[in-house]
Amino acid sequence: MAQNMLLEMHHVSKTFPGVKALQDIQLEIQHGEIHALIGENGAGKSTLIKILSGVYQPDEGAEIFIDGELQKDITPLGSLKHGIAVIYQDFSLFPNLTVAENIAMVSRIGRKTKIINWKETHNIAKNALAKLELELPLGTTLSELSVAKQQLVAIARAFVNDVKLIVMDEPTSALSRGEVESLFSIIRNLKERGISILFISHKLDELFAISDRFTILRDGKYIGTFGEEELDDDRLISLMVGRRIEYKIFDKRTLNDPLFEVHNLNKAGNFKDISFTLNRGEILGITGLVGAGRSELAQAIFGLSPSDTGEILLDGEPLHIESPEQSVAHGISYIPENRLTEGLVLKKSMTDNICLTVLNKISNNRGLIGKEAQHELVDTWIHDLNIKPNLPNMIASKLSGGNQQRIVLSKWLATEPKILIVDEPTNGIDIGAKADIHQLLRDLSEQGMSIIVISSELPEILAIADRVLVMRRGRIAATLDGKNLTQEEIMKEAL
Amino acid sequence: MEQNTQQTVENEKKGLRKLFGKFHLETKELVLLWIFLGIFILMSIISPGRFLSVYNLQSMAYQFPEFGILALSMMVIIVTGGINLSITYSATLASILGAVVMVSMNKAGAPELASVLVGVFIIIVASLVTGAVNGLIVAHIGIVPMLATLGTMTLFEGISLNITKGGAISGFPNMFQWFGNSSIIGIPVPLFIFVLVIIATYFILQRSTFGAKVYMIGCNPTATRFSGINVKKTLFLLYVYSGLLTGLAGLVMASRYNSAKESYGYTYLLQSVSAAVLGGTDISGGFGKVFGTVISVLILQVISSGLNIFGVNRFITDVIMGMILILVLTINFINNKREEKALVTKKIVTA
Amino acid sequence: MNRILTTIRKSKEMNILLVLIVISIIISIFNGSFLTMGNLLDVVKSNIVLAIMSMGMLLVLLTGGIDVSIASVISAVTVVVGQFMVHVSSNIVLVFIVGVLAGSLMGLINGLLIAKLKIPPIVATLGTMSIIFGVVLYLTNGTWITGIPQNFIDFGRVTIGKFNVAGSDQPTGIPIQFLFLVLAAALTWFILKYTVIGRGIYAIGGNKESAERIGINSDNLTLFVYVYEGFLIGLAGVVHTSIMRQVDPNAFIGFELQVIAAVVLGGASVLGGYGSVFGTLVGVSLFCVINNGLILMHIPVYWQKIVVGVVLITSISVDVIQKRMQEKKNVRVDIDENIQRFARTSVSKEVKTQA
């Protein structure tokens, strides 16, 4: 058995300042298998990969075997030498260098000769691409390529050395459907050649489509390794989260009290011919594949990148929104998808973050902030949304994902919006917190707030949306009634 | 009797703490304050006759306000994650423009008060304009502050040189001396202006909604924009304010030296960055307190006057200043490392 | 051919070169003596030091750093070299070694502060600048060092080739100092283009985290960059002394900003990753030609600063605005343009929902 294994990791633990990220993890990968590593955000997948690639050193006691050989002190270079190539979610490429150099860069590190042979560089790149049966413009600067092509560059880079294992961290997150298909055919091709793949993804359908075996992590602990035949969606999810996901399905309302209307909104390269109506007290779901133009639409409505043409009506009055400032003044709030870079100022306290949108409410007419009004406001929101710990001066980056999202919600609810647009409201937060946020959104809508929920997670849309807009390639493909809607019906429109 | 004094001491301590609490002094600023007091006392002990003399204290009180005002004009920009290299030339350009008008009015026989008022008015307006130019380039065009202000610094210097032809402009009305060389109830006017600037900057930066936006922009401009804040406008106004402060510094310098020249105060440029960083302002933006910078200005001033009095060469003082800056940052680095380590071991023990 | 044209249009360096050519033409229209050998040689000779130092600054900017201590370092080098020649030996080779060692040592100190103690470059070099200038001015008291040995003065007067220049009876040649600029530029170009170190510098400037992930040691590269910069400043210091034949410790106050401005004019980004030797040379030339042209056009010397400031701001503004326009054009969503197909599915949908 052990001889068959390409990679064996046992008793891997990793401690960071303040966190035990991994505890006694094990992972075994056979030659020529596609192995899925799964777990929720924060389960420790990325940390494990960084140990495997030598970026982090594991705590004492870890045993890592490659081809049955015990490895000590894996370095980034050593890991590459052993045929392990990691393709990170951000690709780890150099935007200012050419395609050829991005691919060949790894071949230069740790060599004796320190002089560069450009002909060789091009040949190395060409050969690596040839192994993948790909063609890319070698002399082009990387930043000029599309994301999908940049990913191919990252994959090609793995083929510079004699690669045995390719680790792919969320490789499909930035790809269109067609691009995912062609990525999968490349992966299957690699498997046939005896190369192992460690595949990390959140998308279960993709995992089942391609993986042979699954290793599941939860909260930094090893849950188990299973063959494809042992698992189905439900079992996998319950192993990942510890219990089955059962979103509470709210009863769907039919409303006819238009508050907000969008007519023929266009923005070149972003979306086209968008028209819809949002009723008072309604939760409108917008879904579709990543890259269908959902967030772009929301950001245009919010004034971050205004649309080229089209009309927006609020209460029947035409709106001209050119900046977020104006939309806030009109009672429109937008909670962005990326909590860490767009939603929060991570280095600042809960108080600073919550107050940022309502500075005028906690200040006197001379523009000075009233400490008491500030405390009162923050305490109210900490209490109402049950933010933990109850420490207004705590730095936002030290909170859990669920509590961070509650802060973002607080800061926008504090503006008392008429329309709340939430982009992926429960992305990367634990299941308990998700249910709380669903309940909160529902309560708000019952109090008369109109809410647009943008989500890729279909169960979430099915649970809370009264109506669903499905977007496909920049357009609205269908408007569906939330009653008795199924995932299949949505997917048919989205693809 | 003894108990009584003890109680008064404790009461005083409480009073101090209350006072500090009011001004939001945190440990960092307190440490700086102790360092300042320590150095001050040390200097006084070494040379009570000269350092602690009325003459020296007074001359310091006339000297450091111009530096302090410039340091604050630098500090408010560093809080946004930028840097303003144009401060000293903005100060001298404004004072030169004011000086030209003042001198010609004086020569034409206008009443002294009128020429001084017009001169001061022009200094203030010119400094607002220099600030607006910086703000326009940084906030609206979006050039990295270091390069933008490097360009405007050269530009302002060039305009000044064109006016002065490399010389100094003098021949002000006598009344103009008031801003740099007089005192109000024993407080030197420059110090008075500095205190006003400190109070204004404190309220603008640390107490107002505008300041709250500035700190958030310094940490994460994207998230701030996503929160419905007009980042461009905020930055623009802050650069205008920074410009205004340079104008006040220019006013004080021109009055103190009784002339206006483009190179006045040039050495304050880098010292201002030092003062801000020593005072706990994060060079990458988002953090920093007005009082930290002010106390650092005092520390730097006391060290340089003290060393000067002890007959230490002026250039050795520069060396010591540089070493202090690097030492403080090295200590910061070591402390951060140690904190990280302590955190790890603590967690392991508790686990 | 078309492809070559687009690359030329796209390349930042070519844009600057175009500006340089246009400005040169304008100047030579106003004043015929601009394009004479004699004038051009003067321009070259008076800017060799600036050009050599820009090569070092280029590397620093490529890593995303900045160095404001360079003026103090070259002051210190010239003083060390001057004293060494006056008091120890004026052996040309020894003088160069001493100069280069002094420069590299100061570069090493900057490098250690930045790479090992992680002090932000602008603050670290502010500190070293204050220290080095302080020491130099303390030791020299600001007085000039004269009495440079004759053999070194003779060395500085060596020219290569001999040709007649209009307006002057004496034939002149290319000054020997130019050779050192060629050497410095060639070495820097070679390092950046053909060594693992050079490509590593571009890599950490482009994406530091990625570079570290594939095993590039960014700390060591940063250290190298500052030491190499110090080395070039050392070279520039000796070259400067051979041109001026005396040492003025105050000669370089404010010089750091000129160097940074010239390199940035040449298309280097202060955020790291972008910039080239060719571009930097063009940027330096542009800087020098503007200064020289203003003199030739009898525009008061005080205008120089204004022009440099305006050129600096406009050139960066154009760059920033161009980039923003391009970003706006970027397609974020692959929009379905096939309306007919689209309409059909929508209609069928409506039918379904009605039913």
CATH of the domain at B164: 1.10.3470
Outline where A10-65 has alpha helix (H): 45-52
User: Using CB atoms, which chains have 3+ pairs under 8 A with B?
Assistant: A, C
Which residues numbered 263-302 in A keep a CB inside 8 Å of some CB on C?
269-272, 291-293, 296
pLDDT of residue C165: 65
Residues in A closer than 8 angstroms to C216, CB to CB, are: 109
User: Which residue range forms the structural domain that includes residue A367?
Assistant: 344-409
Nearest to B208 among A16, A336, A368 (CB): A368
Residue at token pair 């050593």: A78
Q: CB neighbours of A353 closer than 8 A, spacing ≥ 6?
A: A344, A345, A396, A407, A408, A411
User: Which residue range forms the structural domain that includes residue B210?
Assistant: 29-36+57-332
| Listed residue (C49, C109, C106) closest to C77, CA to CA | C106
| Listed residue (C228, C296, C303, C251) closest to C52, CA to CA | C228
In a domain? residue A339: no
3 state SS for chain C: CHHHHHHHHHCHHHHHHHHHHHHHHHHHHHCHHHHCHHHHHHHHHHHHHHHHHHHHHHHHHHCCCCCCCHHHHHHHHHHHHHHHHHHCCCCHHHHHHHHHHHHHHHHHHHHHHHHHCCCCHHHHHHHHHHHHHHHHHHHHCCCCECCCCHHHHHHHHCEEEEECCCCCCCCEEEEHHHHHHHHHHHHHHHHHHHEHHHHHHHHHHHCHHHHHHCCCCHHHHHHHHHHHHHHHHHHHHHHHHHHHCCECCCCCCCHHHHHHHHHHHCCCCCCCCCCCHHHHHHHHHHHHHHHHHHHHCCCCCCHHHHHHHHHHHHHHHHHHHHHHHHHHHCCCCCCCCCHHHHHHHHHHHHHHHHC
Kindly tell me if the per-residue pLDDT of C20 is higher than 70: yes
Q: Spell out a b/e string for C124-142, using b for 16 or more CB atoms within 10 Å of the CB, else e.
A: bbbbbbbbbbbbbbbebee
Residues in A closer than 8 angstroms to B343, CB to CB, are: 17-18
Tell me, yes or no, whether A437 and A393 share the same domain. no
C-alpha neighbours within 13 Å on the C-beta side of residue B223: 28
Question: Given CB atoms, is A109 within the 8 Å cutoff of chain C?
Answer: yes
Report the C-alpha gap between A77 and A55 in whole angstroms: 10
Kindly tell me if the per-residue pLDDT of B351 is higher than 50: no
Would you place residue B9 in the very low, low, confident or very high pLDDT band (cuts 50, 70, 90)?
Answer: very low
Which residues numbered 154-173 in B keep a CB inside 8 Å of some CB on C?
154-159, 161-162, 165-166
* Residue C42 and residue C311 in contact, taking contact as beta carbons nearer than 8 Å: no
Q: Which of A241, A276, A311 is the last residue of a domain?
A: A241
Tell me, yes or no, whether A164 and A230 share the same domain. yes
Q: Give residue-wise pLDDT tens across range C260-276.
A: 889 988 988 888 889 99
In a domain? residue A337: no
Query: How many domains, chain C?
Result: 1
Q: Which of A209, A225, A241 is the last residue of a domain?
A: A241
Q: A61-65, B191-195, B240-244, C108-112: which has the minimum mean pLDDT?
A: A61-65
In a domain? residue B249: yes
Q: Give residue-wise pLDDT tens across range C49-86.
A: 999 999 999 999 999 999 989 999 999 999 999 999 99
Burial class from Cβ neighbours inside 10 Å (0-12, 13-18, 19+) for residue B186 reads exposed
The three-class DSSP label of residue A208 is helix
Question: In the structure encoding, which two tokens stand for residue A225, read together?
Answer: 């390794």
Query: How many domains, chain A?
Result: 3
Kindly report the number of other CB atoms within 10 A of residue A436's CB atom.
17
Query: How many domains, chain B?
Result: 1
Max mean pLDDT range (A12-26, A197-211, B169-183, C313-327): B169-183
In a domain? residue C346: no
Question: In the structure encoding, which two tokens stand for residue A130, read together?
Answer: 């040839």
The three-class DSSP label of residue B321 is helix
Report the C-alpha gap between A177 and A289 in whole angstroms: 8
Tell me, yes or no, whether A29 and A114 share the same domain. yes
Rounded to an integer, the average pLDDT of C96-106 is 97
Tell me, yes or no, whether A218 and A92 share the same domain. yes
In this structure, is the dihedral angle defined by the CA atoms of residues C121, C123, C126 and C132, taken in order, positive or negative? negative
Burial class from Cβ neighbours inside 10 Å (0-12, 13-18, 19+) for residue B141 reads middle
Strand partners, A311: A263
Kindly report the number of other CB atoms within 10 A of residue A96's CB atom.
21
Nearest to A106 among C195, C207, C214 (CB): C214
Q: What angle do CA B121, B122, B124 make, to 5 degrees?
A: 65
Tell me, yes or no, whether A256 and A361 share the same domain. no
The residue in chain A having the minimum alpha-carbon distance to the alpha carbon of residue B344 is: A17
Report the C-alpha gap between A407 and A424 in whole angstroms: 15
CATH code of the domain containing C70: 1.10.3470
CATH code of the domain containing A444: 3.40.50.300
Q: A138-142, A401-405, B186-190, C116-120: which has the minimum mean pLDDT?
A: A401-405
* Residue B249 and residue B242 in contact, taking contact as beta carbons nearer than 8 Å: no
Tell me, yes or no, whether A251 and A293 share the same domain. yes
* Mean confidence (pLDDT) of chain C: 85
Tell me, yes or no, whether A14 and A99 share the same domain. yes
Nearest CA of chain C to the CA of A473: how many Å?
5
Instruction: Please give the distance of CA C235 from its chain centroid, rounded to a whole number.
Output: 15
Query: Long-range contacts for A134-140 (Cβ within 8 Å, ≥24 apart)?
Result: A136/A99, A137/A99, A138/A98, A138/A99, A138/A100, A139/A98, A139/A99, A139/A100, A140/A98, A140/A99
Which portions of chain A are predicted below pLDDT 70?
Answer: 1-3, 17-19, 40-42, 173-174, 176-177, 202, 241-246, 290, 495
Instruction: Please give the distance of CA B330 from its chain centroid, rounded to a whole number.
Output: 23
In this structure, is the dihedral angle defined by the CA atoms of residues A73, A77, A78 and A82, taken in order, positive or negative? positive
Residues in C closer than 8 angstroms to A491, CB to CB, are: none
Q: CB neighbours of C339 closer than 8 A, spacing ≥ 6?
A: none
Please count the residue pairs, one from chain B and one from chain C, whose beta carbons lie less than 8 angstroms apart.
142
pLDDT of residue B26: 63
Rounded to an integer, the average pLDDT of B69-79 is 97
Q: Give residue-wise pLDDT tens across range B311-340.
A: 888 888 889 888 888 888 888 778 777 776
Which residues numbered 84-103 in A keep a CB inside 8 Å of some CB on C?
86, 88, 90-97, 101
In this structure, is the dihedral angle defined by the CA atoms of residues C74, C77, C83 and C85, taken in order, positive or negative? negative
Amino acid letter, residue C305: K
Kindly tell me if the per-residue pLDDT of C221 is higher than 90: yes
Report the C-alpha gap between A406 and A384 in whole angstroms: 10
Kindly tell me if the per-residue pLDDT of B149 is higher than 70: yes
In a domain? residue A188: yes
Rounded to an integer, the average pLDDT of C187-216 is 92
Q: Is the preceding peptide bond at A389 cis, omega within 30 degrees of 0?
A: yes
Nearest to C309 among B152, B165, B270 (CB): B152
Selected residue with higher pLDDT from C155 and A235: C155
Kindly tell me if the per-residue pLDDT of C340 is higher than 50: no
Tell me, yes or no, whether A81 and A202 share the same domain. yes
Q: A412-426, B77-91, C337-351: which has the minimum mean pLDDT?
A: C337-351
Q: What angle do CA A459, A460, A464 make, to 5 degrees?
A: 115
Please count the residue pairs, one from chain A and one from chain C, whose beta carbons lie less than 8 angstroms apart.
118
In a domain? residue B264: yes
Kindly tell me if the per-residue pLDDT of C203 is higher than 90: yes
Tell me, yes or no, whether A495 and A376 share the same domain. no
pLDDT cut 70: percent of chain B above it: 89
Q: Give residue-wise pLDDT tens across range B127-141.
A: 999 999 999 999 999
Q: What angle do CA A320, A326, A329 make, to 5 degrees?
A: 120
Tell me, yes or no, whether A165 and A40 share the same domain. yes
In a domain? residue B181: yes
Kindly report the number of other CB atoms within 10 A of residue C332's CB atom.
17
Rounded to an integer, the average pLDDT of B291-303 is 93
